[in-house]
Amino acid sequence: MKEIEVVAAIIQHQNKILCCQRKDNKLQYLSEKWEFPGGKLEEGESKEVGLIREIKEELNMDISSPSFALTVQHTYPDFKLIMYCFYVVTNRQDFELHAHNDAKWLSKHDLINLDWAEADIPIVKFLTEES
């Protein structure tokens, strides 16, 4: 089974977290699900540099200070995903959608109200169980 390594950002601004909705996808189990933004690393790229690049590409947003949060491993029907998740901060709340249908800033307690991609559910649980 194919194994894919990706990075994901837990983008925080004024006690809110940015959540992004995937576009329609040929893989129905990912189509229009919510996720934490990020993506695949390029060859030779560190996780932190890749994350900053991906967020700039997907949201035209500058982020800083990546701080490792957790690693999620999830097996979908077609591939195994290893996702390295980082807390990041931004000094602005605005963004441009280049890779998603929608995005919204939510409090930790409101995260559970979205229809998340299965691999992102452990991140939601991690965030909502934090003290």
The two three-digit tokens of residue 8, written as one number: 């994901």
Quote the tokens at residue 14: 């004024």
Any idea which residue has 């965030």 for tokens?
Answer: 127
Domains by residue range for the chain, with CATH: 2-129 (3.90.79.10)
Q: CA-CA distance, 124 to 108, in Å (whole number)?
A: 8
Return the pLDDT at 41.
92
Give the rounded distance of the alpha carbon of 97 from its chain centre.
14
pLDDT values of the chain reduced to their tens digit, one per residue, 131 residues: 999 999 999 999 999 999 999 999 888 889 999 999 999 999 999 999 999 999 999 999 999 889 999 999 999 999 999 999 999 989 889 999 999 999 999 999 999 999 999 999 999 999 998 74
Q: The pTM is what?
A: 0.94
- C-alpha–C-alpha distance, residues 47 and 67, integer Å: 11
Give the single-character DSSP code of 84: E
Per-residue pLDDT at 72: 98
Burial class of 87 by CB neighbour count within 10 A (0 to 12, 13 to 18, 19+):
middle
